[in-house]
Copies of this chain bind each other. A is one copy, B any other.
C-alpha cells in the first residue's frame, strides 16, 4: 500500500470507525434519525427542523438506568462501535472498548451516541447533522453564516432531547474523547442530576488562550481560501484548498512526531523536486496534504468554522467562571490524558483534576502512554480498558 493511501486509510478510520478487524461476528448497528421541530440555542436563537443521527449498542433496561452516552471528537461522528454491515472494513472508532464483554459492556449497558450539531463531515453518507450547510426552512437555501453560533452546551442539549425521547432521565456515565470530553464535562456541570460518572479522555475543562489561538488557524486556513467567499459558496465551488489545509493542521497537531516520523516518508537526501521551485511540496508534506485533500469533499468548510468556535468558547458549565461550573459537578470523574498529547496537552486535564480535587470532588486521573500523541485517546484506549471497567462498576 502506498504511504499516502495508508494515511488516508488511518484517517478515514477516524471518520468511519476503528479496530475490530479480526472480530468474527461484528456487532451490527443502525444509524437512526432524530428530529426536533424547533430548537432554541444556548445563545437564544431558534433552529427549525433540527435533525441529528444517533446509534445505540446494547439494550435499554426496564428502569432505563443502564445508559452510557458516548460523545464524539471534532472529526468524528456517532459511529463509536460495531459495523453497519458485516462487509464494513472497519468498526466504530472505540470498538476496542465498546461491545459485549468489553470495558463498556453492551451486555450490561445501553450505549448511545449522537452525531453532533454542525458536524464537520455532513457529506459522509453515515452522518446526519444540522448546520450551515443544511437547508434553512425559512429560505429554502443553505443557511451559510446565518446559522446561529452554537456551543458545546447545545451539543449536550440536543443529546438530552434524544435521550428524553427514549424516556431516559439518567446517565450511568458519559464518556468522550477530545471535543467529546468537553461535552462529557459539560454534561456533568450543567445537568449534575443526570450524570453519575464522567470520563474525560484527552480532554480539558476549559479552553486556554494558547489553544484558542491554535484552533484559530484551522478557521483562518478556510477563510483565506477565496472560494470560501464569506461562507457563501453553496452554489459555487467549495473552498477545498482551505479545508485541505485545515484538516492537515488538525491531523498534524493530533499526531506526535514519534508516530508521524514512522509513517511519513523520511528525508535524508536532497529530494529531487526540492530545488526546482518553492511551488511544490516535499514528500513528507505531500503525504499529509494529499490524504487531507482526498477527505476534503466530505467536509463542509462552514461546519468546521462553527465547530472551531464551539470549542474556542468552551468553559465547563458555561458559567461566569470555570470554578462555578465545576462546583456544580456531583459525578464521579475520571480523566485520561495522553502523555504525548500536543493538541490538548496533559496539563489541561491535570489542571481540571486538581481544581475538582480542591473542590472535594471525586476525581481519578491516569495517563495514556503511546506514540500517537492526541490520537492515543482513540488508538491506545484499550490500555485503559480495565480502568474504565472498574470505574463503571
Residues of chain A having any CB pair with chain B under 8 Å: 43, 145, 148-149, 151, 206-217, 219-221, 223-226, 230-231, 241-242, 245, 248-249, 252, 255, 257, 260-261, 264-271, 274-279, 281-282, 284-285, 287-289, 302, 305-306, 308-309, 312-313, 315, 318, 320-322, 342, 345, 347
The residues of B that contact A313 with a CB separation of less than 8 Å are: 270-271, 274-275, 282
Q: Is the CB of A221 within 8 A of B220?
A: yes
Residues of B within 8 A of A302 (CB): 278
What are 13 residue pairs bridging A and B, where the CB atoms are less than 8 Å apart in the complex?
A145-B279, A149-B275, A151-B270, A151-B275, A211-B257, A213-B285, A216-B248, A220-B245, A224-B242, A231-B278, A257-B347, A274-B309, A285-B312
A272 to chain B, nearest CB (A): 11
Q: Interface on chain A toward B: helix, strand, loop, or mixed SS?
A: helix
The answer for the CA separation of A265 and B210 in the assembled complex, in Å, is: 10
- 8 closest A-B pairs (Cβ-Cβ)? A209-B264, A209-B284, A216-B285, A210-B257, A224-B224, A43-B275, A212-B284, A210-B260
Which residue of chain B is the closest to A219 with respect to CB atoms? B278
Say how far A233's CB is from chain B's closest CB, in angstroms.
14
Contact across chains for A149 and B261 when beta carbons are under 8 A apart: no
Q: Are A269 and B149 in contact (CB under 8 A)?
A: no
A262 — nearest CB in chain B belongs to which residue?
A: B209
A263's nearest neighbour on chain B, judged by CB, is B209
Closest B residue, CB atoms, query A226? B226
Q: Please, how many angstroms separate the alpha-carbon atoms of A107 and B218 in the complex?
A: 50
Chain B residues with CB under 8 A of A285:
212-213, 215-216, 312
A260 touches B217 (CB 8 A): no
Smallest CB gap from A321: residue in B: B268
